Amino acid sequence: VDRKGKPAALNHARHFETLFAGNDDPWDLRSKRGERHKRDTIRRALGPARLGCGVELGCGNGITTRDLAHKFAHLLAVDGSASAVALAKREVAGLRHVEVRHAALPITLERARYHAVIASEVLYYLPARSLRTTLWEAFDGLRPGGLLISTNHITNFDDAECTNAELNRLTRSLFGGEVRALVGDRWRCDVYRK
Ligand SMILES: C[S@@+](CC[C@H](N)C(=O)[O-])C[C@H]1O[C@@H](n2cnc3c(N)ncnc32)[C@H](O)[C@@H]1O
């Protein structure tokens, strides 16, 4: 799938629904080496220890979710596409500590509950207000010392609502600067600590 295929304005939800309804892995997460590297990087960024609660925003078909599941005692994964959620549920079937929920961002997170919030290739799709609220909820939902892991393609897609530079500026203004920036072939993984 070409990420440049521009959806009608404000039609992201339908755009993703159509993608997942026609293809269970629209971005070839299973087969692309760069995508596997990205998941390895997210896992490494979480550190060696198993963590308590995690939340994954925009979990898509659940391939990243399944990969991260063993890092948490409880992992909540949310996505706004019903088809993606059905795929993700299938992907993590049998993992009782993983909950997949159909919800549009921003979602309200319980204050100071989470050890990590993972947002892989989702934040730049959010319109400015939703993005600000989502980042604020991530900050508020994290325990002190908790991590926000924000992984984003370096290319600025036509269907994105903001550039990487804008996204990083906004996230930095809330979290006060990233702890680490890990760079892959066409993406970067920014790690912020509350
Ligand atoms: C490019 S995919 C990324 C999937 C997965 N996180 C990954 O890294 O491969 C973007 C995902 O974000 C979801 N998404 C986009 N905007 C959303 C919103 N406002 N609320 C919830 N999910 C959203 C889409 O449905 C899609 O599954």
SS3 call for 134: helix
What's the rounded Cα separation, in Å, for the pair 121 and 128?
16
Q: With a 6 A CB cut-off, is 168 part of the ligand 1 pocket?
A: no
The residues facing 10 across adjacent strands are: none
pTM of the model: 0.93
Q: Which of 3, 75, 125 to mutate to test the pocket of ligand 1 (most atoms within 8 A of CB)?
A: 125
Q: With a 6 A CB cut-off, is 38 part of the ligand 1 pocket?
A: no
Q: Which of 4, 122, 135 to mutate to test the pocket of ligand 1 (most atoms within 8 A of CB)?
A: 122
Q: With a 6 A CB cut-off, is 84 part of the ligand 1 pocket?
A: yes
Terminal Cα distance for the chain, rounded: 35
Q: From first to last of its 194 residues, what are the pLDDT tens digits of the chain?
A: 334 444 443 477 888 999 999 899 999 999 999 999 999 999 999 999 999 999 999 999 999 999 999 999 999 999 999 999 999 999 999 999 999 999 999 999 999 999 999 999 999 999 999 999 999 999 999 999 999 999 999 887 777 889 888 999 999 999 998 888 898 888 999 999 99
Place of tokens 């979290």: 175
Tokens of 163: 């550039």
Q: Do residues 5 and 41 touch, judged by C-beta distance below 8 A?
A: no
In angstroms, how far is CA 80 from the centroid of its own chain? 12
